[in-house]
Every structure is written in structure tokens, then in C-alpha cells.
Structure 1
């Protein structure tokens, strides 16, 4: 049974070995597919596979795997993203004016993102393509919500819990509605007094969400997302042992989104640099398991991307490694260079 990968469902069994376009072996014949296997096929840009013929009872009523987004489809998905950004702005205004927000408004704003983007296999490109210099605070909130949803799923949370965690990420900065715009969007470095003011958004956000929904994960996340496991964060200098696990998830998503975003006073950083920085922070500031899970799932999105090596040579990432995240297999012309073996090579830049 020759089938497109978008039609696969868990439990399908391969009848032939599967290779990517570079001839590298991806999955073996006889493999019973699970969700991660199907994701791997997407990541390797494999379109069709051969599986054992299903019985009539096994045929899905609807597709269980939606095709991933593609940059050429931005006219379709862009408006969904922009609607969420606009909805986020409206929530900030509501919180500023009334000191609270309606839970139904949060669901109606965030849920379309989950429904339309949850099977996107290239999170890296998606966020870069959709990101602009406008409405930083609101775009950042939308991105952190999406990333928190993905990361929660990767950590093993069920769909309902992952959506709640995504909503918490979406609302993590709601307290910024009470920070003066001149400080919030200041293009220059903040003074010590201004930074102390900014730090209060965690307390403001906690209060707004408690007034809106009572005690909740979202309220805790609003308060704790700038805490760090070594106790150097704010507002309460909590150690990792005292942080809520969901706060650790949103903290990783928050740092990543902030570092990839384009702002008036900050250029977008190279994506590999950002992930390396997260890796460094995982040994002091960010929860290691949460951060490494994030990196491990983001790195395969680099497969197929062009890279420049420190040697000046350019090539294409063919495969990534599950342990040495930043040392992929690269095709340089007609030869393959495994950076885990040839240690003199380093990736300098990933072209997105």
C-alpha cells in the first residue's frame, strides 16, 4: 500500500526500508509506526512510504496526520497568526482597563493556533517566517504560547494539559499591560530603576489572572516565568526545587522566543547560537530536562537547511544527532562530513 505520509496513522507497519533523498536510512521494514516515527518521516522530507494493507476497520474516518505548513501557504496561515496577535492585544487592553480578562476570550484567541499549527513539523521556520518587528509584546506572547504547547507535548503531557500550558504561556506577560509603554518599548538599555519597574509585570500578571480565574497554573506561570533554577531570577529568587514544572516549560519558551525575535534594538540571532545559548543556560538557569527536550525536538528542523561551516564551506544538513545536538551530518558537494567524527569542523551559520 503506497501512501503519502500525511495519510499515515499510528500502528501502520512499513513493508520496505525507508531512505531520505540523500540515501540515508531512516526507518526499517517491519517498523510499526508511532507518532515520533511519523514525525521523523516529516522531518526527513519523505513524501511516500509503503505500508501493509489495512483492513476496512483500520481505515481512518479522517486523516490523523495533517500536512505540515509550508512557507508558500503563508497567505493562509498568516491571518490566523495575526488574528491571535490582535486578540492578544485586545486581552492586554481589557486587563489594563478592567484588571481582569474573560477565560472564554483567551480560549477563542488561542485555540485556533492549536487547531491550525499543532502538526507543523518545522517550528523553526514557521516562527521566523511569521515574526515581524511590529507588536513585539503581543507576538512574543503568541509565540511563547505556541512553543509552550509544543514543549509540553514533547514532555509527554496529554493534549488537554498541553493546551492549558500553552494558554499559560500565552498569558505569561499579561502584567506588562500595566507597565508604561515608554519603558516597555524603550530602544535603549533600561536604567536600574526602569528594570525594577519591568520586573513588576510578573506580580501584576499574577494578580490579573487570579482576579480573572482564581488560583491557576496560568497565575503561577505569570509570577514565576522569570525565576531561574539557581535562584538568580525574579521576583522571589526561587530555586528550581520551588518552581512549578509548567513555569520551567514557559521559561524555556520565553527565552527562546525573546532571542529569535526581531526588535528595534535587537537583531535576530543565528538560530544555532540561540539553541547553544539555551544549552549553556541549562546548566545554571533553565531546567536541564525541559531545555534538552526542547533542543532535541528543535534540532531535527534543521535537516535540509543550508549551513556555512567555520572553514567557509557551505553545505546542507542531512541528519542530526540525538546527543551531540550541534554536530550534524553535513553534505558538502559530493561528500558527507559527520561533525561528531571530524571534530575540526564547526557550524558557523544556519541559513533559514
Structure 2
């Protein structure tokens, strides 16, 4: 099966020997592909390789990037509309039908589970106008990825993702004018907005037998150092699922566009979240996000601080934010070229 190097999946196996344009033998037939092999292929400017047919025979993995993005966006839009219905039901009745959550979320997770390019996912979603509904879904989907990186089972990942999608359901009880407020909040407005965590707990408890998603709604603004709300809990008092959703929520929230400053870059936000992992956010969860998100930057294009466009070739395990990049035909190790930094990631 002829496959572009950017579409290779962990564990794919080469069907034939691979040679570069100069005839140098790069990888032998039968090699199991992982991120190291992908980086090697990129360094040798190899675009396509032949791999053995995958056991699952997935069709999604053979879609080109534009087709996959369209499929992703169509399903994302449908899932957002489904969440909007759930939100409106909570607004009018104080509870929602749990089966509606499952019916809308599971098809979306099946798609992203087969195509694990989380950076393309975040870039695609980042092009959308942010509102309460797609924010909640983005948090749910990113929570799914983080949970899988932490080693949770498939069923646990789904439950964490569902809790992430429902984390802001309590905002249905917040006045619409306050929900839509774009400027800084005064103390009274801030106090009212913070009540959404308790409202969310109540709505979910009235809608589902499982208390854990309700705890996530209650605790997703708690912080490891006790500075969060509504209860000022400390690390050992916060549910593990809440810690995951808190990191996903922070990341998605920080990537939202600012009216004056525009949309911040994924990499800049990732750096900020990384720093928060040394006090406010759970370090283990933040490390999982950073360590597993950065390898997905390999093969993506980036803007350097000098204005040049580069392709990320290899991640530096000792300095996460200073990878090996390729500018035209020149390779630059940013851990050595300290005057240069990555400014933005794009497709």
C-alpha cells in the first residue's frame, strides 16, 4: 500500500526497501515504523513508501489530508449541533438525555481514533468561530487524546471525553448576556460566572447515574496549588478525570482568538500550559500533552522568528520547543541556533 510519510501510523511495516534519490539505502524491508523512522524518511526527502496492508483495513487512513479534513469538519459541525440541543434541553428543563450525548459523541471519536493527527485536528478546529458549543467539544476531544496518552482504557477515555464535553453544561443557567460578554468581568459578574461549576454538577447529577462527570463539571477550575474554584481543592482532593479536563480546557481556552490580539499560536499556548504544569495544573497530565503533542508537529510547517518558513523534522527530547527543522535544503538544529525560535505552526 503506497502511503505518504505524513500518513504513516505507529507500527506500520515497510513492504519494500527504501532508498533516497541518491540511491542510499535508508530503511530495509520489514522495518516497523515509529516516529524515529518517519523523521529519518523526512530528512532524506522521501515522500512515499510502500507498507504492508494494515490488519484493520481502515479506509480513513488512506484519505488524503483535504478529504479527511472535510470529513472531520462535517462530523464536528454535526456533533456541535447535537451538543447545542443538549445545552438547550438543560436550559429549559434543568437536565438532558444522556443517550443524546452518546449518539453524537461516539461517531466523532471513531473518526479521530482512526486518524490520530491531533495537530491537524486542533488546527482545523482553530479555524472555527469559537462559541460555547464547539469549545466544549474541543475540550472533550482533546481530553480523549490526553487520557489515551496517560494509558487509560478505551472505555475510560470515552468517559473522560464525555465528561470533557459536558464540563460547561452549567453555563446554561448563566444569563445569556453574561455568557456573551466579551470584555473583562467585574467581581459580581465573575462570581456569577463561577457558579456554572456548581450548576453543572447539579444538572449532570439529575441527568445521569454516574457522579464522575458531575465531579468534573464541578472541579475543572480547581488548581493543584489550591488557588482554583469553587472549593479551593488541592492536588490530592481533585478527581483524576478533572485534572485531565482542566488541562484540556485551559489549552482550548488559551487558543481562542482575542478581539484585539487575534488568535495565539498553538506552540505559544503549549509553552504557557507547560509552565502552568509546575504549580497550577497537574504536571503528569501537562507532560502527557506536551510530550505527545509535539511529535505530531513533525512534518508540519512553522514560521521562524526570522520570518522564514521551515518544516519540523525531528523533536529534541531534551528541549521540547527547539526541534530540528528544514529551511529549503538546509537543516537547522534550534537547540544550537539559539537566536531562532518557532513562532507558529500551520498545515
Structure 1 residue 264, shift from structure 2 partner: 5.0
* Structure-2 separation of matches of 1:93 and 1:14: 50
Q: d(CA) in 2 for partners of 1:89 and 1:278?
A: 28
Match of 1:148 among 143, 151, 164: 143
Task: Give, in whole Å, the separation in 1 of the partners of 2:334 and 2:297.
Answer: 15
1:326 aligns with 2:316: no
How far the C-alpha of 1:13 sits from its partner, in A, is 5.2
Question: C-alpha displacement at 1:284, in angstroms?
Answer: 1.2
After superposition, the CA RMSD in angstroms is 3.4
Partner of 1:48: 49
Instruction: State how far apart, in whole Å, the 2-side matches of 1:11 and 1:132 are.
Output: 31
- Contact 1:260-1:269 within 8 A present in 2 as well: yes
Aligned partner of 2:225 in structure 1 is: 230
**Residue from 157, 181, 191 that aligns with 1:196:** 191
Greater Cα shift, 129-138 or 235-244: 129-138
Match of 2:247 in 1: 252
Judge conservation of contact 2:325–2:331 (CA < 8 Å) in 1.
yes
Runs of 5+ consecutive residues of structure 1 not aligned to the other structure: none
Shift of 1:140: 0.3
Unmatched tracts of structure 2, length 5 or more = none
Measured against aligned partners, the alpha-carbon deviations of 1:76-131 in whole angstroms (never above 9, x if no partner) come to 33221111111111111111111111111110111111012223333223233234
Change (3 A) 1:314 1:75: closer
Q: 2:12 touches 2:51 (CA, 8 Å); kept in 1?
A: no
Aligned counterparts of 2:38 and 2:332: Cα–Cα separation in 1: 22
Q: Tell me the residue number matched to 2:334.
A: 339
Within 5 Å, which residues of 2 pair with 1:172-187? Answer: 172-187=167-182
Separation in 2 of the partners of 1:302 and 1:24?
26
Is 1:110 aligned to 2:111, yes or no? no
Q: CA deviation at 1:263?
A: 5.8
Compared with structure 1, are the counterparts of its residues 39 and 203 closer, same or farther at alpha carbon in structure 2 (3 Å cutoff)? farther
- Counterpart Cα distance in 2 of 1:224 and 1:125: 29
Asked whether the equivalents of residues 60 and 68 of structure 2 are also in contact (C-alpha less than 8 Å), the reply is no
Are 1:317 and 2:317 matched, yes or no?
Answer: no
* Residue 24 to residue 68, structure 1, CA distance change in 2 (3 Å): farther
- Between the two proteins, the alignment pairs up a number of residues equal to 341
Q: Could you tell me how far apart the structure 2 residues matched to 1:66 and 1:39 are?
A: 20
Correspondence list, 1:209-224, <5 A: 209-224=204-219
Which residue is equivalent to 1:169? 164
TM-superposed deviation, 1:176: 0.5
Q: Check conservation: 1:9, 1:65, Cα contact below 8 A.
A: no
Q: 1:39 to 1:193 in 2, by over 3 A?
A: farther
Match of residue 239, structure 1, among 225, 234, 237: 234
What does 1:63-78 correspond to in 2, within 5 Å? 63=58, 66-67=61-62, 70-78=65-73
Indicate conservation of the 8 Å contact 1:304/1:317, yes or no.
yes
TM-score normalized with structure 2 length: 0.85
Structure 1 residues 17 and 182, CA gap change in structure 2 (3 angstroms) = farther
Q: Does the 8 A contact of 1:327 with 1:339 survive in 2?
A: yes
Residue 95 of structure 1, aligned match among 87, 90, 99: 90
